[in-house]
C-alpha cells in the first residue's frame, strides 16, 4: 500500500479543460472519496492515477516514486470500472485469476486457486465460479469486478462508481463489505461517487470536485461542518442545505450575500414566524417544508410532531454559514 500524491494535474481535451491544477495527497491507508456531479472530472482524475490517460501537465507520485511516464501495469494499481469490465469470453474463475496470471505477477497455480477462492467467498460468488461472466446478474458482475481488484495486493485501489448500478440492498451490503476490507488490509482507496451516503459512510477523506477544480479536501465531518463554499456545502447533507438571501434574517455580516442553513442550524420555537406548507414523514425522519417571507425552507423535526399544514412555526438561525456573492464562505 502506498500514498498517492497529485501535484498540479491539468487535463485538456481539445479546448475543454477537464481537470484544472488539481493538487491532492491520498494518505497511505486512507479511503478517499471524490465527490461531485457528472462532468466534475472525477473519473478523469481516476484515469490519470491509473495511467489510462496522461495529464496535460502536472505530476503523479505513488509511494513517493514519480509514475507519470509509467504504463498502467507498471503503476501496480487495481481499478474497478463502472461497467463493462468483465472479460465476457472467460468464466468467473478465469476473470478473477486474470490479474494474477499477468506477466507482472506470475502467481503460482495453487496460489491463484487459494486467492480466487478467498475472494469469491468474501464476495459470496463462490457458487458462480464456473459460470461464464456474461451469465451473471448485474450485481454479481459488479461483485466479480470488485473481486478482480481484491485478488491483488496493489499500491492502491481505484474505484469508479462501483456500486451505482446495484440495487439499494446490495449497495448497502457492499458498502459495509468494502469499508471493512479497506480497514482490515490497511489499503489505500481512491473512490469516485456522486452518492453522498457512500462518501459519508466510507470515506476517511472527501475531495469535492467542481468543473475540474478540487474545491475542498478534508474529512467528511470537516466538509459537512465547515464547507468552503455553497457548492461544497450542497454536496453533503440530507435534506440539502437551505441557501437564502443573507438579509432575510437580522444579524448578517456586511459582506454576506447568502445565508446557509442546515436543519440543525435552524432553531425551532423562537424567532421569526414561518408557515408550515408540507410535512413529509420518512419514518426515521420527518421533513418540514416551511415558507418564510416567500422563500422555501426544508428542515427536519421530531418524528412524532403534531404540526400540520398551515401551522405557524417560529424559527431562528443558529451558527449559520454566510457566503459572499461568488458563493465563497465568509463566516
Partner 1 sequence: MSYSITDPSPRTKWFAGTLVILYALITLMPLLWIITTGFKSQSEAIAYPPSVLFEPTLEGYVNLFTTQTRVSEADLAANPPETFAEEIAASKGMIIVGPSRFGERFLNSVIIGFGSTFLSVVLGTLAAYAFSRYRVPLKDDLMFFILSTRMMPPIAVAIPIFLMFRTLGLSDTHLGMILLYTAVNLSLSVWLLKGFIDEIPREYEEAALIDGYTRFQAFYKVVLPQAATGIASTAIFCLIFSWNEYAFAVLLTSGNAQTAPPFIPTIIGVGGQDWPAVAAGATIFLVPVMVFTILLRKHLLRGITFGAVRK
Q: Min. distance of Cβ 103 from partner 1 in angstroms?
A: 7
Q: Is 72 in the site for partner 1 (CB under 8 A)?
A: yes
Q: Is 142 in the site for partner 1 (CB under 8 A)?
A: no
What's the rounded Cα separation, in Å, for the pair 283 and 168?
17
Strands (E) across the chain are located at 4-13, 16-26, 31-35, 57-62, 65-66, 77-80, 156-160, 189-193, 205-210, 213-218, 242-245, 258-261, 266-281, 286-292, 295-301, 312-317, 321-323
Q: Is 55 in the site for partner 1 (CB under 8 A)?
A: no
Q: Min. distance of Cβ 163 from partner 1 in angstroms?
A: 17
Strands 242-245 and 65-66: unpaired
What's the rounded Cα separation, in Å, for the pair 191 and 187?
12
Q: Is 14 in the site for partner 1 (CB under 8 A)?
A: no
Of 157 and 231, CB closest to partner 1:
157
Q: Is 294 helix (H, G, I), strand (E, B) or coil?
A: coil
Site residues (CB under 8 A) for partner 1, limited to 272-301: none
Q: What is the 3-state secondary structure (H, E, C) of 97-126?
A: HCCCCCCCCCCCHHHHHHHHHHHHHHCCCH
What's the rounded Cα separation, in Å, for the pair 208 and 35?
5
Q: Is 330 in the site for partner 1 (CB under 8 A)?
A: no
Question: DSSP letter string over 25-91?
Answer: EE-TT-EEEEE--TTSSHHHHHHHHHTSS--SEEEEEETTEE-TTS-HHHHTEEEE-SSS-S-TTSB
| Beta carbons of 44 and 18 less than 8 angstroms apart | yes
Q: Min. distance of Cβ 85 from partner 1 in angstroms?
A: 5
Q: Min. distance of Cβ 116 from partner 1 in angstroms?
A: 14
Of 78 and 215, CB closest to partner 1:
78
Q: Is 87 in the site for partner 1 (CB under 8 A)?
A: yes
Binding mask 15-34 for partner 1 (x = CB under 8 A): --------------------
Part in contact with partner 1 (CB under 8 A); list of ranges 67-75, 123-131, 220-228, 282-290:
67-75
Number of amino acids touching partner 1 (CB under 8 A):
24
**β-pair partners for 168:** none
Site residues (CB under 8 A) for partner 1, limited to 145-204: 148
Helices and strands of the chain, counted as H and E runs: 9, 17
Q: Is 13 in the site for partner 1 (CB under 8 A)?
A: no
Part in contact with partner 1 (CB under 8 A); list of ranges 96-104, 211-219, 224-232, 312-320:
96-104
Of 104 and 282, CB closest to partner 1:
104
Q: Min. distance of Cβ 83 from partner 1 in angstroms?
A: 7
Please give the backbone phi and psi of residue 191, each rounded to the nearest 5 degrees, phi first.
-130, 125
Q: Min. distance of Cβ 277 from partner 1 in angstroms?
A: 47
Footprint of partner 1 (CB under 8 A): 50-52, 71-73, 76-79, 81, 83-85, 87-89, 98-99, 102-105, 148
Amino acid at each position: 500500500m502506498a500514498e498517492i500524491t497529485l501535484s498540479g494535474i491539468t487535463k485538456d481535451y481539445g479546448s475543454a479543460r477537464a481537470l484544472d491544477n488539481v493538487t491532492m495527497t491520498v494518505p497511505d491507508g486512507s479511503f478517499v472519496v471524490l465527490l461531485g456531479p457528472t462532468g466534475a472530472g472525477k473519473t478523469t482524475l481516476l484515469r490519470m492515477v491509473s495511467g489510462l490517460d496522461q495529464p496535460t501537465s502536472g505530476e503523479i507520485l505513488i509511494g513517493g516514486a514519480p509514475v507519470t511516464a509509467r504504463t498502467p501495469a507498471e503503476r501496480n494499481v487495481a481499478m474497478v470500472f463502472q461497467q463493462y469490465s468483465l472479460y465476457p469470453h472467460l468464466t468467473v474463475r478465469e476473470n478473477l485469476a486474470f490479474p494474477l496470471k499477468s506477466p507482472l505477477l506470475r502467481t503460482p497455480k495453487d496460489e491463484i486457486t487459494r486467492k480466487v477462492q478467498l475472494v469469491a467467498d468474501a464476495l459470496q460468488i463462490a457458487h458462480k465460479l464456473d459460470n461464464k461472466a456474461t451469465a451473471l446478474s448485474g450485481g454479481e458482475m459488479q461483485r466479480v469486478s470488485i473481486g478482480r481488484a481484491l485478488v491483488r495486493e496493489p499500491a492502491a485501489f481505484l474505484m469508479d462508481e462501483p456500486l451505482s448500478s446495484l440495487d439499494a440492498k446490495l449497495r448497502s451490503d457492499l458498502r459495509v463489505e468494502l469499508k471493512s476490507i479497506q480497514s482490515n488490509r490497511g489499503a489505500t482507496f481512491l473512490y469516485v461517487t456522486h452518492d453522498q451516503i457512500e462518501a459519508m459512510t466510507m470515506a476517511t477523506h472527501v475531495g469535492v470536485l467542481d468543473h475540474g477544480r478540487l474545491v475542498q479536501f478534508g474529512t467528511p465531518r470537516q466538509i459537512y461542518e465547515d464547507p468552503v463554499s455553497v457548492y461544497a456545502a450542497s454536496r453533503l447533507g440530507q435534506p440539502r442545505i437551505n441557501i437564502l438571501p443573507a438579509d432575510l434574517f437580522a444579524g448578517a455580516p456586511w459582506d454576506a450575500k447568502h445565508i446557509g442553513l442546515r436543519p440543525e442550524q435552524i432553531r425551532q420555537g423562537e424567532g421569526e414566524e414561518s408557515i408550515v406548507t408540507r410535512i413529509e414523514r420518512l419514518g426515521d425522519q420527518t421533513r418540514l417544508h416551511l415558507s418564510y417571507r416567500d422563500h422555501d425552507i426544508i428542515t427536519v423535526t421530531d418524528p412524532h410532531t403534531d404540526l400540520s399544514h398551515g401551522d405557524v412555526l417560529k424559527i431562528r438561525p443558529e451558527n449559520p454559514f454566510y457566503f459572499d456573492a461568488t458563493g465563497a464562505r465568509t463566516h
